Amino acid sequence: MIAAALALSACSNSAGEAPVGVGKVRAGERGTIAELKTMGEVCGDKPITVAHIDGAQNSWRRVAHAELLHEAAMCPAITKVTYHNAQGDPAKMISEINAAVAKGVDVIVTLPDAGDALLPTLRRAMQRGVAVVPWAAGQLGGTPGVDYVDAPTFDGIAMGRAWAEWMVKRLDGKGNIVFLGGTPGNPASLTEAEGIKQVLADHPGMTLLGGGPIDTNWDQAQAQRVMSGLLTKHPKIDGVIADSGLVSAGAIRAFVNAGRPLVPWAAGDINELACLYKEHKPKNQNFELGTISSYTWIIRLALRKGVAAAHSKPNNEPSVIEVPFTEDSTAGDDMMPKCDPGLPPDATLSAQLPSDKLAQLFTGGG
């Protein structure tokens, strides 16, 4: 457990008391980035503590945690933020949530990798008076106000559709593609796959190899191994969609090591992916890159909804956010992939963090 000491004191809930203000949170509605608000609109005076309970850890999640800390610093009432990593173990995640509740935390923000299996645990935490906010889970089941305050996330179906539509254009409606997802059965990748399949259903010349999503555990080394296996199995792969820029970097190396030409690629943004595009594009004319924001900033929305509930303040921000394309090598100068050699490869350039904080995050200085 990593403690982020934003101040010195802590505050407990009363067991059995539902979090106040839950009914004032606009839950489950779709919207855009333009509709998002600021922490100052929901931060009250009562001292509160926050636990960030993560299902696993990688560079994307490190950026997300940094975004949460940056947002928390804008609310003086937040006296402490703790970080808990379940290390990919659903049972450990349940244990971490229960432990946070027992310690009297006021707000829990969590990325529920195990999906609906975590709902009973989240519901019990809510019944104990904790404002629980799962985030970035795609189509999570349960009921806002009962199982959790709200579940801020990206519009996974719209994201999958956007990637697939971009890919259909690049391939003129004909080709074999793969979709690289994350952990087995995670609701985010499954939701994105649904959007991809909706588009491909209208294009019979397109084939989704393996049915998708193909699991990588959002691990770069594993993604490289998985992609190597796919290249051995399938002599013709015409395009790749991956819901992680980190995963994409590993998969691209598999193409290069196999001596296979790079193909149109749609993914989430990350600095390394843009740099790989610039490195390999000159010798791979069919290699185009379209990325959607990696949405680490949605954790800020999750925190605001939890703080609003804990402080009995209204929050009318939408919870299902349409995430835009940030790069498209086929769309002109303003959208060209942005490789920043001054930042680490793992940096998520669409993060809402100052560039110095983003750099410090990967060099041990932040």
What is the DSSP pairing of strand 175-180 with strand 239-242? parallel
Per-residue pLDDT reduced to its tens digit, 143-187: 999 999 999 998 889 999 999 999 999 999 999 999 999 989 888
- pTM, to two decimals: 0.79
Asked if residue 238 and residue 211 are part of one domain, the reply reads: yes
- CATH code where residue 49 lies: 3.40.50.2300
Per-residue pLDDT reduced to its tens digit, 184-212: 988 889 989 999 999 999 999 999 999 88
Give whole-number Cα distances, 109 to 228, 247, 299, 355, in Å. 36, 24, 8, 24
Closest CA to 329 of 339, 344, 321, 340: 339
Asked if residue 243 and residue 339 are part of one domain, the reply reads: yes
Asked if residue 87 and residue 8 are part of one domain, the reply reads: yes
Asked if residue 228 and residue 138 are part of one domain, the reply reads: no
- pLDDT(19) > 80: no
Asked if residue 146 and residue 16 are part of one domain, the reply reads: yes
Asked if residue 29 and residue 120 are part of one domain, the reply reads: yes
Structural domain contains residue 246:
yes
Closest CA to 160 of 184, 193, 188: 193
Asked if residue 202 and residue 147 are part of one domain, the reply reads: no
Structural domain contains residue 212:
yes
Of 249 and 366, more confident: 249
What sections of the chain are H helices per DSSP? 59-72, 90-102, 119-127, 156-170, 187-200, 220-233, 245-258, 271-280, 298-310, 355-361
Return the structure tokens found at 232: 């051995």
Domain that holds residue 309: 2-154+296-322
Burial of 198 (C-beta count, 10 Å sphere; 0-12/13-18/19+)? middle
Task: Tell me the percentage of the chain whose pLDDT exceeds 70.
Answer: 92
* Domain count of the fold of the chain: 2
Cα 286 from Cα 231, distance rounded (Å): 17
The pLDDT assigned to 305 comes to 96
Cα 162 from Cα 94, distance rounded (Å): 34
What is the amino acid identity at position 268?
A: G
Per-residue pLDDT reduced to its tens digit, 336-356: 999 998 888 888 889 999 888
